Each structure stands twice: as structure tokens, then as C-alpha cells.
Amino acid sequence: MYKAPRGTVDILPEEQAFWRYVEAKAAEVCQLYGYQRLDTPVFEEAALFTRSIGEGTDIVTKEMYVFKDRSGKQLALRPEGTAPVCRAYIEHGMDNLPQPVKLYYLAPAFRYERPQAGRYRQHYQFGCEAIGDGDPALDSEVIHMACQFFTSLGLKELTVQLNSIGCKSCRPEYIKALKGYYQERAADLCPDCKTRLEKNPLRLLDCKRQGCQHIADNSPRSTDYLCPECRSHFEVVTEFLRSLDLPFNFNHRLVRGLDYYTKTVFEVQPLAGGAQSALGGGGRYDDLIEQLGGKPTPAVGFAAGMDRVVLTLKKQGIPVPPLPLPEVFIAHLGNEAKGEAVKLAASLRSQGIGVVMASGDRSLKAQLRQANSLGTGYAIIIGEEEIKNRKLTLRNMVSGEQQSLTPAELRAVLGKGT
Ligand code: AMP
């Protein structure tokens, strides 16, 4: 027996109402903030991700699905959405458009992680990117938009974690201080952190091992090393957030798992669950476009994990609107009736009325049972009697009430959307 690959799930029909609800809210919030949709390929040149996410990150070293195609080109399944959007921005000359260019995507992402609740090898992200403007007002707008997305879904008990990790001019000084601090404590570090200390010191701060927590908690803070430009940027971001009455927690250990971030970084987490179950995160990435071959172009963005959003909606008991069902079920008895049913189904559908026609030749009882389980509001019954009288029986599936109608009367009743 074949099974879905480890760490992947099928999204079954009964789950779809949650997913369509989340997607619709994402599109709605994007419209409110002026973002347009962009779809990029599921795979890209592997180097796009290696260069942007960073060679020393877990995503690149342990999690990326990399493969050679038949021509020997090194490709990777998208592990995140920002780098492809930046690639498309450069490739399509979007720097010629009025800036910032605001783009959003809803797309699967692939990471070879250890599967657990809320952590999959294929997951889905809703992300937005505002490219081409360094204004701190845009950082706070993106944070506000992320929160608006979650609250408009009905989610509660979330916190915003905020930090600034500086820029290429002030970060080296901070990294020096961080390294010095960790070197003094190297003996107490986990093996992974010993490597991080050499290869990518910023990653030390998001180590999940118990033994490293105390060390990370008391480590130097990036915000104490910001250059005047980064400091004033961060001050404006927090000032705007306060003016929007958007509460946030300053978290000096928040560095995000990708190397391209500069200045503002943030995450939205459920109160219960913390960083491990972050619903979304983002920040500014002012050097990325240039690093990928474009002109120097500041940008800021955000991505939410849709799988975790759906899990949290269920956990918090938030009802979602049901998906529309076909309005009518057609039951038929006998060959002649079946022929009439085929024509009636086609004509109702051409009027925009959703129809499920019974297939096979089951008893009326069995056919109505099927109508019941489908949840259609009405069943139309065509039997010998109906054929003889050139009428149809319309049964209200909720009240059980039945009426005998001519085809024209039936169309009039159903056409009113009753
Ligand atoms: P990241 O940019 O890595 O923080 O990813 C953005 C969001 O995607 C996270 O906040 C999670 O909600 C979600 N996410 C990341 N990795 C996974 C995964 N393996 N499975 C499910 N959701 C994920």
C-alpha cells in the first residue's frame, strides 16, 4: 500500500472549508493593504536559496530538497517564498514600477524537517513582500497587516515578538560581542552551538536545547549595538506600533532562521506554544535584492504558516463558513425517468443551479439517503407517475414537504434561490 510521504498530508474534502476560509481572508487582507498576487514556480535554481537564506542555516544545510534535473541543473523545491519573489522582481524589471511593489503569494514550501504536530515536510505559506522602500512605516504596516490577518480569522491569544538585528555596518560589532560572550562559555554549549559559534553565531540565539537557554537568555543584545540609522529606524517602528495600539514584546533572542534579515524582525506566536509553534514571521531584508543581482533595494515582508493557522483555528474552536453545496439532488426511477433526469440536470446547471444526479438504479429510499448525506436543500423526484403527468416532485430535504410542479414552475422556484 502506498502512503503519502512522511511529513506530508492530504487535505481532505472535509478540511477544505478551513483552507478556503484562510485563503479568502489572506486575499481580503491583501486587497486592504494593496498587495497583488504573484505565483512563482515550485522549484528554482538551488543557488537562489543558498545565496539568500544563507549557507550556514538549517534550511540550506539540512532541510532543502535539492535535486539535479535531467540536464544536470541543480534545482531545489521552494523552502520559503521570499527569495523567489525577489528573483521575479528583478527578472521582470519591477524596479521600473512605482515603489514599493507589494506582492503576495499562497504556495507550498518544502523542508526536510522532523515531522510533528504543526511541522511538515510540505507546508503552505501565505506571504507578502513590500519591495523598494526603506520607510520604517512600512515595517509597522507589515506587522499590522500580519496581525489583521490573524485577528480577522478570529484567532485570539497571540503575541507579537519584535527585535532589530541591525545592518551590515553595525552587525559585525554585535557579532564580535556575541562571539566573545559565547567563547567564554564554549565548554557548556551543545555540539550544534559549538559549530554555530564558528559558522553562524547569530543562530546561537535560537538554539532549542535546554542547556543553552540560560546562556542565550543572558547574551548581549543586538539592540545595544545598533548604529544611529538602525536605532532611529527601530524607534520609529515601535512608535508607529504604539500609535496603532498594537502590543508587542521586545525579544532579544528573536533572530529568525534565515540570514537575509536586516533591522526589524518579528514573529507572531500563540500565547500557549511559543516560538516552536509560531504562526508567522518576517522582517526587513534591505540587502537581499542586491545580493541576488538587482540594484540596492530595501524591502520588508512576512509569511504565515497556513497549516498552523488551520490547526489553531480548530484548537480555539473558531467556526468557519461552510463551503457552498449543490442545491439540488435528482432522484429517478426507471429508464425513461433517468433520461429526463439527465436533461433536467443539464438544464438546471446551465441556469447556474448546482445539481447532483443519482447514478445507478437504486431504490428511492437509497437515493434520498444519498441526498441527505450530501446536504442538498432539495431533491427532485422523477418516477413513472411524474413522467405520465409531465410533472416533477420537489422535496424540501429539511422539512420533508413535497410539491408537484411543472418543469417551468420548478425552474421558477429554484431560480429564486429558495
Ligand atoms: P519561517 O519563515 O521559517 O519562519 O516560516 C514562516 C512560517 O511558516 C512559520 O511561522 C510557520 O508558521 C510556517 N512553517 C515553517 N516551517 C514549517 C513546517 N515545516 N511545517 C509547517 N509550518 C511551517
Q: Which domains does the chain have, with CATH numbers?
A: 13-170+226-315 (3.30.930.10), 328-413 (3.40.50.800)
Nearest CA to ligand 1 atom 10: 280
Provide the residue-wise pLDDT of the chain in tens; the chain has 418 residues.
999 999 999 999 999 999 999 999 999 999 999 999 999 999 999 999 999 988 878 899 899 999 999 999 999 999 999 999 999 999 999 999 999 999 999 999 999 999 998 999 999 999 999 999 999 999 999 999 999 999 999 999 999 999 999 999 999 999 999 999 999 999 999 998 999 898 889 889 988 888 899 999 999 999 999 999 999 999 999 999 999 999 999 999 998 878 889 999 999 999 987 667 899 999 999 999 999 999 999 999 999 999 999 999 999 999 999 999 999 999 999 999 999 999 999 999 999 999 999 989 899 999 999 999 999 999 999 999 899 999 999 999 999 999 999 998 998 888 765 4
What is the distance in A from the centroid of ligand 1 to the CA of 109?
9
pLDDT tens track for 78-90: 999 999 999 999 9
Is there a contact between 75 and 69 (Cβ–Cβ < 8 Å)? yes
What pLDDT sits at residue 418? 43
For residue 402, what is the enclosing H or E element? strand 402-405
What is the distance in A from the centroid of ligand 1 to the CA of 100?
25
First-last CA distance in the chain? 46
What pLDDT sits at residue 54? 87
Is there a contact between 323 and 159 (Cβ–Cβ < 8 Å)? no
Q: Hey, what's the cell of 370?
A: 444519498
What is the distance in A from the centroid of ligand 1 to the CA of 283?
14
At 251, give phi and psi (nearest 5°): -135, 105
pLDDT tens track for 163-197: 999 999 999 999 999 999 999 999 999 998 999 89
What is the distance in A from the centroid of ligand 1 to the CA of 227?
30
Quick count: other Cβ atoms within 10 Å of Cβ 329?
Answer: 27
What is the distance in A from the centroid of ligand 1 to the CA of 249?
20
Nearest CA to ligand 1 atom 9: 280
What pLDDT sits at residue 415? 79
DSSP string, 162-218: EEE---TTTHHHHHHHHHHHHHTTGGGS-HHHHHHHHH-GGGGGG---HHHHHHHHT
Q: Hey, what's the cell of 364?
A: 428511492
Residues with Cβ < 8 Å from 229, sequence gap 6 or more? 167, 169
What is the distance in A from the centroid of ligand 1 to the CA of 250?
21
What is the distance in A from the centroid of ligand 1 to the CA of 280?
7
Q: Look up residue 140 and give its amino acid.
A: S
Residues pairing with 116 in the sheet: 119
**Site to substitute for ligand 1 among 119, 269, 315, most atoms within 8 A of C-beta:** 119
Q: Hey, what's the cell of 190?
A: 551543545
Nearest CA to ligand 1 atom 14: 305
Distances (CA, A) of 36 to 30, 85, 129, 288: 7, 12, 10, 21
The whole model's pTM is what?
A: 0.93
What pLDDT sits at residue 274? 66
Quick count: other Cβ atoms within 10 Å of Cβ 305?
Answer: 23
Q: Which residues line ligand 1 (CB under 6 A)?
A: 80, 111, 113, 118-120, 123, 125, 257, 278-281, 303, 305, 307-308
**Site to substitute for ligand 1 among 6, 8, 111, 277, most atoms within 8 A of C-beta:** 111
What is the distance in A from the centroid of ligand 1 to the CA of 156?
19
**Site to substitute for ligand 1 among 8, 19, 125, 309, most atoms within 8 A of C-beta:** 125
Is there a contact between 261 and 173 (Cβ–Cβ < 8 Å)? no
Index of the ligand 1 atom closest to the CA of residue 80: 2
**Site to substitute for ligand 1 among 119, 123, 276, 306, most atoms within 8 A of C-beta:** 123
Residues with Cβ < 8 Å from 183, sequence gap 6 or more? 197
What is the distance in A from the centroid of ligand 1 to the CA of 57?
15
- What span, in angstroms and rounded, lies between the C-alpha atoms of 284 and 265? 7
Query: Which has the closest alpha carbon to 237: 272, 262, 208, 255?
Result: 262
Nearest CA to ligand 1 atom 17: 119
Query: Which has the closest alpha carbon to 263: 244, 248, 282?
Result: 282
